[in-house]
Amino acid sequence: MVVSENWTEATPGRGTVDITLTAQAVVARTDVVEGLCTVFVHHTSCSLILCENADPAVRRDLETWAARVAPDGDPAWEHSSEGPDDMSAHIRSVITQPSISIPVRSGRLDLGTWQGLYLWEHREGPHRRKVTVTVID
């Protein structure tokens, strides 16, 4: 059996949004006890990560790192139709994940103690991001 549900996440601009509980709520509604949950974002300038969920400095450091490795407004980028954060957002999306699959165990996402599921918005401005959760058992 495959059940899926989607929602729109309003992001306040660049940064990580914890969507663990929203995904968990979808899993709960499916009544699946043991299975697999796949999360997917329908965009090319935001992405998914599983990241340490205790210290917010970890996500701040990820931004620092991304700014160094895939900087905004780099003169090498040919594509900049939507501004200096356009191409850098595409790069950051490509090197993280558009989909992540997480085991479901005892009716819950079987994440490690320190694992949070984050939607990483790579654009500077607020966006509406569609996320689909698919649960299989």
Q: Which residues bind a second copy (CB under 8 A)?
A: 2, 4, 6, 34-36, 38, 40-45, 49-52, 55, 57-58, 60-62, 64-65, 68-70, 76-79, 81, 87, 90-91, 93-103, 105, 110-112, 114-115, 130, 132, 134, 136-137
The distance of closest approach from Cβ of residue 12 to a second copy in the complex, given in angstroms and rounded to an integer, is 20
SS3 97: strand
SS3 57: helix
Question: Judged by CB, which is closer to a second copy: 21, or 99?
Answer: 99
Question: Judged by CB, which is closer to a second copy: 13, or 134?
Answer: 134
Question: Which of left, alpha, beta for 13 (phi over 0: left; psi -120 to 50: alpha)?
Answer: left
Structure tokens at 111: 């994440």
Closest C-alpha among 51, 30, 28 to residue 100: 51
